Amino acid sequence: MLGIIGGTGLAKLADLEVTRREIARTPWGDPSCALTFGRLDGRPVVFLARHGYGHTIAPHDINYRANLWALRDAGVAGVVSVATVGGIGERCVPGAIVVADQIIDYTHGRQGTYFEGPDQPVTHIDFTEPYDPDLRQRLLRAAQRAGETLIDGGVYGCTQGPRLETAAEIRRLQRDGCDLVGMTGMPEAALARELDLPYAVLCVVANHAAGIGDSAQRISLDAMGEVLSAAMGRVRVILSEAAREAESMPGDPSPPV
């Protein structure tokens, strides 16, 4: 069973056949909202809206630890994150969908580990490749089957938000090698790794980042909304194909259909 975390513009999965909703409790507090169990074109998935169903939780206030813990407890074999981002790299234009392969973390003050507290040994995870290579390939194959074009690879710069960046901040991210900028990629990816959950991201480019292209003077929030609603239908088709393949992921209790 595939876990899906939906970001801005994807608080609900269109056409998800909901079988049940479950309010999960975790030792780390409450997830952003109830988990929605259902079938996407007949394939089992668990969906969680990262910002809550009413989009009320800002990126720095999300309980990432509870969200990943709840999905792990639900028995998912992997998690696909859908993340709305600004585009920095030349190919990362509004409407593009990118399967990022690297992260640079610019956030601060977020609860970024499960290994804390007086009785916990300090634990370092390997994070050389922050995204699961197999799950990334599954997404790329899923898109190919669905006839959708994805960009394979890109560096996701995770900023603190909730404000968007200045043009100078984006120039700095560009110098650092970032292709994309978003606010929720970390610590989500690192927590998934701590739990040994395969994790990958579908980044939906909603706008040119600050100071770039048609965002040279300002970022149009209205235009962002329009790009996102057009792209989410494509995301859904890719997720559905990925869920089909995810049914045969190792550790998955549900038999292939």
Contact 45, 3 (CB under 8 A): yes
By beta carbon distance, the residue nearest ligand HPA is 86
Q: Which is nearer to ligand HPA, 139 or 227 (CB)?
A: 227
Q: Which is nearer to ligand HPA, 140 or 223 (CB)?
A: 223
**Going by C-beta distance under 8 Å and a sequence separation of 6 or more, which residues neighbour residue 17?**
38, 39, 40, 42
Is 86 a residue that touches ligand HPA (CB under 6 A)? yes
Token pair in block for residue 190: 């690192």
Is 94 a residue that touches ligand HPA (CB under 6 A)? no
What does the alpha-carbon distance between residue 148 and residue 142 come to, in Å, rounded to a whole number? Answer: 9
Contact 202, 158 (CB under 8 A): no
What does the alpha-carbon distance between residue 199 and residue 191 come to, in Å, rounded to a whole number? Answer: 10
- From residue 3 to residue 42, what is the string marking binding to ligand HPA with x (rule CB under 6 A)? ----------------------------------------
Number of residues binding to ligand HPA, judged by CB under 6 A:
12
Q: Which is nearer to ligand HPA, 164 or 238 (CB)?
A: 164
Question: How does strand 35-40 pair with strand 151-152?
Answer: unpaired
Q: Which is nearer to ligand HPA, 150 or 209 (CB)?
A: 209
Window 206-235: residues binding ligand HPA (CB under 6 A): 206-207, 209
Question: H/E/C letters for each residue in 207-223?
Answer: EECCCCHHHCCCCCHHH
Window 155-174: residues binding ligand HPA (CB under 6 A): 159, 164-165
Token pair in block for residue 162: 């909730």
Q: Which is nearer to ligand HPA, 70 or 209 (CB)?
A: 209
Binding positions for ligand HPA, rule: CB under 6 A: 84-86, 159, 164-165, 181-183, 206-207, 209
